[in-house]
Amino acid sequence: MSISNAGSQGSSIYQRIEQFKHRDDRGGDIQHNGMQSKSTDDAVKRLWRNSPGWSDKNGDGRYDLTYEFRAPPEKQENKNTRQFGKTGFTPILENQRNQTRRSLQSIEDVANVTFTEGSKTADSEGHIKIGNYGQMIDTKGHPYKGFPHSSLPTKNQADIEVWFVDTKTEKSVPLAAPGNAGRHTITHEIGHAMGLSHPGGYNGDGKNKLDKSNVSHHEDSQSHSGMSYRGERTGYSNHGGFRSSAPQLDDIAAYQEKYGPNFETRKGDTTYGFNSNTDRDFLTVKTPEDKIVAAIWDGGGNDTLDFSSYEQNQQISLREQTFSDVGGLKGNVGIAKGAVIENAKGGKGNDLIVGNDANNTLEGGDGDDVIHGGRGWDKLWGGKGADTFVYGSPTDSSMFNGVDTITDFESGKDKIDVSGIRTVTGGKPIRLNESVLEQGMGHGLIAGEGAIYYDPKENVSTLMINYGAGHATFEVEVRGQLQPSDVVL
């Protein structure tokens, strides 16, 4: 019986886990693709640099705004009536109205803001007017190509104008739908109406174009902010032509910095992806052909990322401020700062799943999966295939921080990889007893020694390793009979 030893740097699978865990590190001296990274807090400052946002005039801790859809000029026979420096006004039809309501709802979900449709009232702490037009009019009265735009709230401003383009050749906003450019544009412009700027110094008026000199930082990208003009393909992300329909990671942090987080949102047990109970189109996947591009904010409960019906190889992370690669896309699902998601379900491919410090239930599904629970009392299911359960610290599974349970281990096919723990403890190679000991024989392991204990009545094995003074004794429970050859040291 041979015991596998991966060496002092840990196995290639452990190294892959570590690379994935640190893929989204940001701030400080970190650079990505030669561009300086900014922390979430610094990115939020960029988004708020040009506006104070709306004021909580009555001091109740909520921001109560009203909004209305602007009708075209009354003389419909002359839609080219010139007002507001514009011409070519059109009515806002029901699809655009519904998509706008959903965008507003997605902002309500993350912050202490309420939007009420209708005219401005005495209680309104801000009012947003939304209209469609065709062309801009310059100072000489000449028409030129229109573009979506919104003003930013100022200290004493009571009304904001949001304008979208609706012409024969530009119908993206009137035809808005989840994941397309129209819905993304609606959410972007409403972001301006709430006070958010572009992360960089560019604009849509043609005066400050998007180029490298106007890009603020690496995360100035639609991977992190729907307020950015830069597409997501500035690093590893690839959303396959799909766009975010709601606030992204940095947008959520920005809304919460100014307006406060909404902890009432999805405070019960919530499932995202397949079998979703969110009642949000951008957080719901119904078929394996559907795609999802979203950042998740969650107020509490015991929650699950369910990507079980996807057939592609996936990388799923439950760590806040990180992204998962699901459904054939890359970097397309993020978890917002402060949100805790406890559980994840992989799909039919060879998935890599990383948990967080909560008590996680991680299910690999079909395929040869790699699962890393982190701290907490985790329940790990490999599913079909040859699965590897990876540990990188004694505290990943111990009596002090929570003992993991591997529920469906198949000896001779699955592996427990503890090779990365030595890179943390700086210890010498572990000596694992080559005989399986009966439960109850005592756990008097000396430093640098490990053993497997088996309880035949319960059909439960326990792997224990003593990494020496200053480190918790590593311990993991396995349903089934574990053999020394199943352990990668």
Contact (CB, 8 A) for 176 and 185: yes
- pLDDT tens, the chain, 489 aa long: 455 666 678 999 999 999 999 999 999 999 998 899 999 999 999 999 999 999 999 999 999 999 999 998 776 555 566 788 899 999 999 999 999 999 999 999 999 999 999 999 999 999 999 999 999 998 888 888 999 999 999 988 889 999 999 999 999 999 999 999 999 999 999 999 999 999 999 987 777 888 888 999 999 999 999 999 999 999 999 999 999 999 999 999 999 999 999 999 999 999 999 999 999 999 999 999 999 999 999 999 999 999 999 999 999 999 999 999 999 999 999 999 999 999 999 999 999 999 999 999 999 999 999 999 999 999 999 999 999 999 999 999 999 899 999 999 999 999 999 999 988 888 778 899 988 887 655 457 888 899 999 999 999 999 999 988 767 789 999 999 999 999 999
Which tokens go with 410? 């198949």
pLDDT at 4: 63
C-alpha span between 216 and 201 (Å, rounded): 7
Residue 188 is labelled as binding a ligand: yes
pLDDT of 6 reads: 64
- Nearest of 97, 107, 30, 40 to residue 70 by alpha carbon: 97
Is 198 within any annotated ligand binding site? yes
H helix count then E strand count, the chain: 6, 29
Output the pTM of the full model.
0.95
Q: Which pLDDT score, from 0 to 100, does residue 285 have?
A: 99
Q: What is the pLDDT of residue 62?
A: 96
Q: Report d(CA 93, CA 96) in Å as an integer.
A: 6
- Rounded distance between C-alpha atoms, residue 438 and residue 431, angstroms: 18
Q: Which residues pair with 362 in a beta bridge?
A: 344, 380
User: Pick from 333, 154, 337: which is nearest to 246 by CA?
Assistant: 333
- Does the annotation mark 94 as catalytic? no
Q: Are strands 415-417 and 388-390 parallel, antiparallel or unpaired?
A: parallel
Q: Extract long-range pairs of 201-205: CB within 8 Å, 24+ residues apart.
A: 202/229, 204/147, 204/148, 204/149, 204/229, 205/147, 205/149
Domain 50-196 part of CATH 3.40.390.10: yes
Residues 6+ apart with CB under 8 A from 100: 69, 92, 130, 176, 186, 190
DSSP state of 164: E
Amino acid letter, residue 385: G
CATH class of residue range 12-23+268-488: mainly beta
**Domains of the chain, residue spans:** 12-23+268-488, 50-196
Catalytic one of 108, 189, 219, 477 = 189
217 among annotated binding-site residues? no
